[in-house]
A = this chain, B = another copy of it.
Amino acid sequence: MSRAKPAKTGGIEGLGRAIRRLRRQQGRTLEETAKASGYTKSLLSKIENGRVVPPIATLVRLARALGTSVASLVQDDGGASAAFDPGSAAGKAVQTEKGYFVFPFGGGYGNKKMQPFLFIARKGELKMDQLSHEGEEFIYVLKGAMTFHVGSVAYRLASGDALYFNALEEHHVEPLTKEVRYLDVFV
């Protein structure tokens, strides 16, 4: 087992990460980019891994080589990720008209491609209409069981089962015979 190297936490957090990300996005190699900025790939590697914190002078040349500004490198964007604890934070329970509960994970954060939901429904509560919409859907049953119809096929899904289908096909759940809890991801 090899050591978890120092990984200097010195300067700005996530600087190296930003550089690597940008470089990769441009499809360029360590060597090429290093040369373009007048340094060596060795140094660049260390910077990207946070083992070295470059002085601003160096950073300037790096930024230029990457066609960006120092500012954009320094400003730790954090990207577009978010964690959810459905039990508390972003996951607020919602009771809809039709009597089923929805825990949307999505809260804030816009342009996501997927839309994950956690459905919790007690016996008899889940009565969805026939549904059909653009996109695709992935279902994973966490607890309980239900009968799911896609097109003309009926799937009996129990805890641990999964289903993947094109949402353009008509799909709906049969009236529940017991409590069920499942994850539903749209795309």
Would A164 and B17 count as touching, CB distance under 8 A? no
Q: Do the beta carbons of A81 and B169 come within 8 Å of each other?
A: yes
A158 to B84, CA, bound (A): 11
From the candidates B81, B106, B136, B152, name the one contacting A166 in the complex (CB within 8 A). B81
A29-50: CB near B (< 8 Å → 1, else 0) gives: 0000000000000000000000
A57 proximal to B (CB < 8 A): no
**Among A21, A87, A106, which residue has the most Cβ atoms of chain B within 10 A?**
A21
Closest B residue to A116 using CB positions: B138
Give the Cβ gap from A108 to chain B, nearest Cβ, in Å. 10
Q: How many copies does the complex hold?
A: 2
B161 touches A84 (CB 8 A): yes
A169→B86 CA distance, assembly (Å) = 23
Whether, in the assembled complex, A114 has its beta carbon less than 8 Å from a beta carbon of chain B, the answer is yes
Task: Report Cα–Cα, A165/B109, bound state, in Å.
Answer: 10
> A185 — which chain B residues lie within 8 A by C-beta?
114, 116, 138, 185
Report if A78 contacts B (CB, 8 A): yes
How close is A38's CB to chain B, nearest CB, in angstroms? 26
Given known A150-B79, A155-B83, A164-B81, contact A21–B116 (CB-CB < 8 A): no
Partner of A142, one of B20, B106, B142, B161: B142
Q: Which of B13, B165, B170, B183 contacts A82 (CB 8 A)?
A: B165
Q: A17-B170, A168-B25 are in contact. Are A160 and B86 (CB under 8 A)?
A: yes
Write the A2-14 contact mask toward B (1 if CB under 8 angstroms, else 0). Answer: 0000000000011
